[in-house]
Chain A
Amino acid sequence: DQQVKQNSPSLSVQEGRISILNCDYTNSMFDYFLWYKKYPAEGPTFLISISSIKDKNEDGRFTVFLNKSAKHLSLHIVPSQPGDSAVYFCAPQWGGGNKLTFGTGTQLKVEL
């Protein structure tokens, strides 16, 4: 039972344009949502997060939007850069316990 789904396994975007990565979840207990970026043969690195009491959080080129009623969140990267090419995972948690449930991941490729 996959509680967290990222329906686009891959996404290709031109440099300078916006990248939009989507994530859907089923568990209404999730109250904190994190995005991680992962390069091959490395561990994930934290990117940005959002609490369930907010609907938007922005950090530089990265913005995360949360639609609780739709159980949907998205990560916007603008402008996209070649160094952003990686696999992106959304990873919600609940209860403050730091136990993450990883989504299926989206491979982002930013082309020159």
Chain B
Amino acid sequence: AQKITQTQPGMFVQEKEAVTLDCTYDTSDPSYGLFWYKQPSSGEMIFLIYQGSYDQQNATEGRYSLNFQKARKSANLVISASQLGDSAMYFCAMRVLQTGANNLFFGTGTRLTVIP
């Protein structure tokens, strides 16, 4: 069975500082993909970053980077130089490629608040 765990219900960070949002996953399949989405108060889900299980390097997208530690089954999101607009819910998700359905399994999310 696939499972995504986000243990931080809420996080606070000072504006312009970096913050790490934790995500651990569990799957027995060797091929999988890991995603991070941002959900502002308006409700839409915004794709941030992707890491494939066979990718050798950690993914980066602008101020977002994914700290992928395969042996520990963790895929933490690092946001550098936090901005007030980063305040939102953040969800970690996993897709197991062998299922064929391409649906994502989501964690319970972390609410990030950026303090001016």
Decide whether A and B are members of one complex. no
B residues in contact (CB < 8 Å) with A = none
